[in-house]
Amino acid sequence: MKDTCITEDWLLRAEDICMKCGGHCCDGAHPPISPKCRERLISLGIPRDAFESVGYLRLKVQDDGQCILMKGGKCSIHTIKPETCRAGPFTFDVTGDRINIYLKHERICPIVGLLKAVPEAYRTQYELAARSITQLVAHLPPDELEVICRIDEPDTDKVSEIPRLDA
């Protein structure tokens, strides 16, 4: 497929892939939430009890392991979702004054294949991810960031390294 901007067709294909997947990216997910993001989500109607702190502030999961905000295989807050969720399928680690950006493997997130097939879509999502991750890292308490960076994320490949703006 040639390098084109994200079209309505691409968005429909991406939505179809996500719907068929059923939100496996949210299985056992514990996305870190900055205090700033938590307050934003609460102000938009997310209940305070949707969050927990276990070394870092995060969203709770349901008994079946899916994010507490998943309803019927779909994110119930897709338009206002947290930084980490907006960054998907990219994830991160921090080393000193650098943020390492990783891309999940396609078997974890089937949308990766579509992103790789359309370079402009990949660039657009990568740029959103880099902004979201940079913002998250800047607003996380240092002790929580340390805990988050100890979480193993297998099945990812490092795709870039960016400066940490808060360092």
Q: Supply the pLDDT for residue 1.
A: 40
Backbone angles phi, psi at 55, to 5 degrees: 90, -25
Pair of tokens at residue 167: 């360092």
Three-state SS string over the chain comes to CCCCCCCHHHHHHHHHHHHHHCCHHHECCCCECCHHHHHHHHHCCCCHHHEEECCCEEECECCCCEECCEECCEECCHHHCCHHHHHCCEEEEEECCEEEEEEECCCCCCHHHHHHHCHHHHHHHHHHHHHHHHHHHHHCCHHHHHHHHCCCCCCEEEEEEEECCCC
The more confident residue out of 28 and 134 is 134
Tens digit of each residue's pLDDT (9 = 90 or more) over 6-37: 677 777 777 777 777 777 777 777 889 999 99
Tens digit of each residue's pLDDT (9 = 90 or more) over 47-102: 999 999 999 999 999 898 888 998 887 888 888 989 998 898 999 999 999 999 99
List the chain domain ranges. 8-163
Asked if the model's pLDDT at residue 160 lies above 90, the reply is: yes
Q: At what angle do helices 119-139 and 35-43 cross, to 10 degrees?
A: 100
